[in-house]
Amino acid sequence: MPAKILFPVISDLIDPATDQKGKAMAKSHYQFKKRQKELDKKKKKEEKRQSKLKNKAVETDETKKNPTSSTEDR
């Protein structure tokens, strides 16, 4: 008789995704959230890289059009 009393308690410990009545509980979407966070970081990094390239190109164009006077001072 004691084995019958302990068995349901042990089964709840084995499957933590069920409540005490045996109904399934909601699970966390940890992997989905993690993947979304990684994609957001990747997107932000790519945007930052693109803006740096754009700024560098603008600076290069300006220096070609207007050479600096630092070389003339020497």
The string of pLDDT tens digits covering residues 28-41 is: 788 999 999 999 99
Indicate the average pLDDT of the chain.
76
* pLDDT tens per residue, range 13-68: 555 666 666 676 667 788 999 999 999 999 999 999 999 999 988 888 777 777 66
Classify the phi-psi angles of 22: left when phi > 0, otherwise alpha if psi is within -120 to 50, otherwise beta: left
AA letter at 43 = K
- Is 0.75 surpassed by the pTM of this model? no
CB 18 within 8 A of CB 25: yes
Q: List the domain boundaries for the chain.
A: 29-63
The predicted pLDDT at position 62 comes to: 78
Distances (CA, A) of 64 to 50, 57, 59, 74: 21, 11, 9, 19
Q: What are phi and psi of 69, to 5 degrees?
A: -80, -5
